[in-house]
Amino acid sequence: MDYNFPVVRTTHPKARPEDETKLGFAKYFTDHMFAMDWDEGLGWHDGRVVPHEPLLIEPASCVLHYAQMMFEGMKAYRTQDGEIQIFRPDMNVKRMARTCERMCIPELPEDLLVAAVRAVIKEDIDWVPKAPGTALYIRPFIFGDEVSFSVLPAKHYRFLIILSPTGSYYAANDKGLHPTRIYVQDKYIRAAKGGTGYAKVGGNYGGGMRASQDAIKYNCKDVLWLDAQEHKYVEEIGTSNAFFKIDGEVITAPLDSGTILPGITRDSVIQLLKKWGVPVSERKLSIDEIEEASKNGKLEEIFASGTAAVISPIGTLCVQGEDYTVGDGNVGPLAQKLYDNIYGMQTGKVEDYMGWVYPLGLKA
């Protein structure tokens, strides 16, 4: 469909952050956002680009009470020639549809997400950062907005896309990476079979915050979740999927339990490893197997993958207060190679030999 969204430009453009090497994650937001509404009988309507401003919301709005919402995470990158491109947006469209289905949120037409992302980035193109390791983080989200305390799907929804020039989620060194400490969570759980683990919903993250507080106590940046039933098999990290390289084999949790977020970077890592001939398995991996490998010197690498996290190496696992060093505790060569290839393709420094990059046809 040929969308032609009207634009209301801000009358108060903000000063852009001066030092792009100190952006952090989602601390600054651009001048504009995309907004669209859904109503019964009308469907999705009135897509528009408007100034990024606080929302007016009724305190009895159902989302504030029952959290009927979903979100996505994407990034836009600037190449050396000033082309603006995004990464595998078809995967975000598919995941968004699955999340909406799970949350009883009306699905968007398939081509709408990319059209809306393009429309809002067009207004804020100068905000796409240039510095190494940076990108424009894109946060599309939908929430039910109806004055109602009935535990039923809303009859009115709001779809917004907001943008944030961003650096790495975890602290990085001059090569874009820095190993982090991760806390293995064996008390709380993130997701159980039949729940919302595979969907991108705020509740999955809000419910994880108690566990992140435990992690912080042990000087760790995040948690590694274990399965809900046995508290034995590794699932994912608070913000991202997790990969373990043990004795040459790279292992990540399988998606079939419905408790793992199907990450786009996760899928990209698996595809790249297969292409490079590195053995990769989507299989159950117990924390005991990891501890054993660490004791035998076979735990070569652990890294997280995600849109925000990109590829984030893990140098230490903290299991019940005991530290397990991963490899030599530094950035592993496979994590570095994956980061260089994925971020390289995204920013146009490495040829897109997987056909993953999606140029928006915008030039800064």
Positions in the binding site for ligand COI (CB under 6 A): 73, 205, 239, 306-308
**Least distance to ligand COI, CB of residue 354, Å:** 19
Q: Which is nearer to ligand COI, 238 or 332 (CB)?
A: 238
Question: In the beta sheet, which residues pair with residue 156?
Answer: 39
Contact call for residues 226 and 233 (beta carbons, < 8 A): yes
Contact call for residues 228 and 234 (beta carbons, < 8 A): no
**Least distance to ligand COI, CB of residue 169, Å:** 6
**Least distance to ligand COI, CB of residue 164, Å:** 11
**Least distance to ligand COI, CB of residue 188, Å:** 17
Q: Which is nearer to ligand COI, 127 or 141 (CB)?
A: 141
H/E element holding 117? helix 112-123
**Least distance to ligand COI, CB of residue 171, Å:** 15
Integer Cα distance of 87 and 90 in angstroms: 9
H/E element holding 212? helix 209-217
CB atoms within 10 A of CB 5: 18
**Least distance to ligand COI, CB of residue 131, Å:** 19
**Least distance to ligand COI, CB of residue 204, Å:** 9
Helical axes 89-102 vs 112-123, angle rounded to 10°: 120
**Least distance to ligand COI, CB of residue 357, Å:** 18
**Least distance to ligand COI, CB of residue 283, Å:** 24
Nearest to 179 by CA among 345, 22, 336, 344: 336
Integer Cα distance of 134 and 357 in angstroms: 16
Contact call for residues 148 and 58 (beta carbons, < 8 A): no
DSSP strands (E only) in the chain: 32-39, 43-51, 69-71, 74-78, 83-87, 135-144, 156-166, 180-185, 222-226, 234-237, 240-246, 249-252, 280-282, 299-306, 310-319, 322-325, 357-363
Position of minimal CB gap to ligand COI:
73
Longest CA–CA span in the chain (Å) reads 63
Q: What b/e readout covers 183-219, taking b as 16+ CB neighbours within 10 angstroms?
A: bbbbebbbbeeebbbbbbbbebeebbeebbebbeebe
Question: In the beta sheet, which residues pair with residue 233?
Answer: 286
